[in-house]
Amino acid sequence: MSPTLVETSLPPVDTGRLTHLLTEFAGYSETTHGVTRLAYTPLERGAHRMFTDELSALGLHTWTDAAGNSYAEIAGGGPARAIGTGSHLDTVPNAGRFDGIAGVVAAMEVARILVESDARHTHPIRFVAFAGEEGARFGQACTGSRIAAGLLDSPDLADLRDTRGVSVADAMRSVGLDPDRVSEARWSTDDWAAFVELHIEQGNVLEAQAIPVGIVELISGSTRLRLDLHGRASHTGGTPMHQRADAMTAAAEITLLAEEIATDARHHGTRATVGRLELEPGSITTIPGTARLYVDIRDVDSDRQRMTAVELMNGARSICERRGLTLDIETLGDTSPVVLPVWLRRKIADVCTTTGTRYRVLPSGASHDSQMINKVVPAGMIFVPSRNGLSHVPDEWTSVEDLAVGTDLLARSLLALDRELDSGTTAEATC
Ligand code: HGY
Ligand code: MN
Ligand code: MN
């Protein structure tokens, strides 16, 4: 690694600006208990406008693609493919203020640092805010980055629906986007050389080991299922226990089965969760006739991930049969684990070594946009610690000091990549 990297006199990260941007983004929320800024809503678009306004005020060229992903670019000194960084601006319901947003804010601060230091770089440096990363609304995650990676196209967007039956395509139209043009939003290796995403860890490894930075080696896969249980609604007083087809008790047994499968010795590393349950008719004096469960299965091992899903579906079928219910199962999303390119991970590690930043390599339990982007452009991920490992809740927290360490590393990693990647054909650019 060229020693000049350390001498590169980059201005210090402005922690006040990081805090200001985090606070401003948190204001785009439909709830006061935590942040709620769902995919393809006016609030998400408002946050994207703030992103492009802030960066165009720095003099960067900005644009938004047909998928609703927003970009800003500092031109490079020569004919070269872009090196990018960024993350997502949408949230789950009642979220914290750091998941995704920390990576966007870090990217925005890197943009300021590069502009103000007039840092020399051959490759254009691009800053990205992805749309629709969370699967909370439509079930499948990473809509904007899947489109960028060529993994989702217009027809798919009509099929993905939220719990009110609104499709991604309709939601996109409602915020002024055109789902019929999303193929124009695809990234290509002619245009991109590498991408690095900073994200909160959403786990407690870094905090427990008092290590300021994580470098991600692989991102867990996820299989998401919706189970519809059809039993028999009837009077809770008039119906004897042995004459019931209770959808709730069947759902409870399936939920415990998911936990049992994921915790047996063969599944070390599997996580299975029923995070959402809908009952009908939902009356205290009527036995639930219908239950709808949403299951999220995560694993770093793709075979084990799918085996867990098959075991759970088979188990659910026999539970329903025994209890006299019928069962419909729909797969809402199925994404394999992704190992991120070693050469890119090592470059980030080299920067840590050069700057004396302690780090550890670790897997990601959560999924991320980089998981999709890596299908088309080599991607790397930098983690910053999450307090108590909490995420997807209002108590999610990362200190601005930790975020500043990650932001400084991100800036130096992008410049290191600029120096190391030649302008177009390096063998390393294939992931
Ligand atoms: O659900 C996830 O893993 C991520 O937060 N989208
Ligand atoms: Mn995220
Ligand atoms: Mn998330």
Are residues 213 and 226 part of one domain?
no
- Which band of pLDDT confidence, cut at 50, 70 and 90, is reported for residue 267? confident
Are residues 327 and 255 part of one domain?
yes
Domain span at 276: 221-335
For the record, the structure tokens of 73 come out as: 């670019």
Spatial separation of the C-alpha atoms in residues 87 and 69, rounded to whole Å: 10
- Tell me the ligand closest to 224's alpha carbon: 1
Are residues 250 and 209 part of one domain?
no
Q: Are 168 and 178 in contact (CB under 8 A)?
A: no
Mean pLDDT of all residues in 42-47: 98
Find, among 86, 103, 80, 84, the residue nearest to 22 by Cα: 103
- Which band of pLDDT confidence, cut at 50, 70 and 90, is reported for residue 78? confident
Q: Are 142 and 149 in contact (CB under 8 A)?
A: no
Are residues 397 and 263 part of one domain?
no
Last residue of a domain, one of 277, 301, 335: 335
What is the percent of the chain where pLDDT is above 70? 96
CATH number at residue 130: 3.40.630.10
| pLDDT over 90 at 203, yes or no | yes
Are residues 196 and 54 part of one domain?
yes
- Residue 157 C-alpha to ligand 1 middle, in angstroms? 19
- Residue 323 C-alpha to ligand 2 middle, in angstroms? 39
Over residues 137-194, the pLDDT tens digits come to 998 899 999 999 999 999 999 999 999 999 999 999 999 999 999 999 999 999 999 9
State the pLDDT at residue 8: 58
| pLDDT over 90 at 45, yes or no | yes
The tally of CA atoms less than 13 A away on the side-chain side of residue 295 is 33
| pLDDT over 70 at 374, yes or no | yes
CATH number at residue 241: 3.30.70.360
Ligand 1 atom at minimum distance from 88 CA: 6
Spatial separation of the C-alpha atoms in residues 46 and 37, rounded to whole Å: 10
| pLDDT over 50 at 425, yes or no | no
- Which band of pLDDT confidence, cut at 50, 70 and 90, is reported for residue 4? very low
Phi, psi of 7 (to 5 degrees): -75, -15
- Domain count for the chain, please give it: 2
Beta-carbon count within 10 A of 179 CB:
23
Mean pLDDT of all residues in 93-103: 98
Mean pLDDT of all residues in 16-44: 97
Ligand 1 atom at minimum distance from 141 CA: 6
Q: Are 382 and 198 in contact (CB under 8 A)?
A: yes
Length of the chain as a residue count: 431
Q: For a pocket test of ligand 1, which of 298, 392, 393, 396 has the largest count of ligand atoms closer than 8 A to its C-beta?
A: 392
Are residues 144 and 33 part of one domain?
yes
Last residue of a domain, one of 293, 310, 335: 335
For the record, the structure tokens of 103 come out as: 């990576």
Q: Are 369 and 186 in contact (CB under 8 A)?
A: no
- Residue 200 C-alpha to ligand 3 middle, in angstroms? 10
Are residues 363 and 315 part of one domain?
no
Are residues 252 and 162 part of one domain?
no
Q: Which residue has the higher pLDDT, 412 or 6?
A: 412
Q: What residue type is assigned to position 254 of the chain?
A: I
Output the CA torsion sign for 301, 346, 114, 62. Answer: negative
Angle at the Cα of 127 from the Cα atoms of 108 and 391, rounded to 5 degrees: 65
Lining residues, ligand 1, CB within 6 Å: 99, 133-135, 141, 366-367
- Residue 134 C-alpha to ligand 2 middle, in angstroms? 7
Are residues 230 and 160 part of one domain?
no
Are residues 344 and 319 part of one domain?
no
Mean pLDDT value across the chain: 94
State the pLDDT at residue 1: 43
Residue nearest to atom 6 of ligand 1 (CA): 134
For the record, the structure tokens of 142 come out as: 């990473």
State the pLDDT at residue 426: 44
Q: Are 66 and 181 in contact (CB under 8 A)?
A: yes
State the pLDDT at residue 130: 98
- Residue 394 C-alpha to ligand 1 middle, in angstroms? 15
| pLDDT over 90 at 382, yes or no | yes
State the pLDDT at residue 226: 97
| pLDDT over 60 at 243, yes or no | yes
Minimum mean pLDDT among 76-85, 243-252, 356-365, 391-400: which range?
76-85
Last residue of a domain, one of 335, 357, 377: 335
Are residues 342 and 285 part of one domain?
no
Q: Are 217 and 346 in contact (CB under 8 A)?
A: no
Say whether the peptide bond before residue 363 is cis (omega within 30 degrees of 0). Answer: no
Q: Are 379 and 370 in contact (CB under 8 A)?
A: yes
Spatial separation of the C-alpha atoms in residues 257 and 241, rounded to whole Å: 22
Over residues 102-128, the pLDDT tens digits come to 999 999 999 999 999 999 999 999 999
Are residues 304 and 162 part of one domain?
no
- Which band of pLDDT confidence, cut at 50, 70 and 90, is reported for residue 424? very low
- Which band of pLDDT confidence, cut at 50, 70 and 90, is reported for residue 422? low
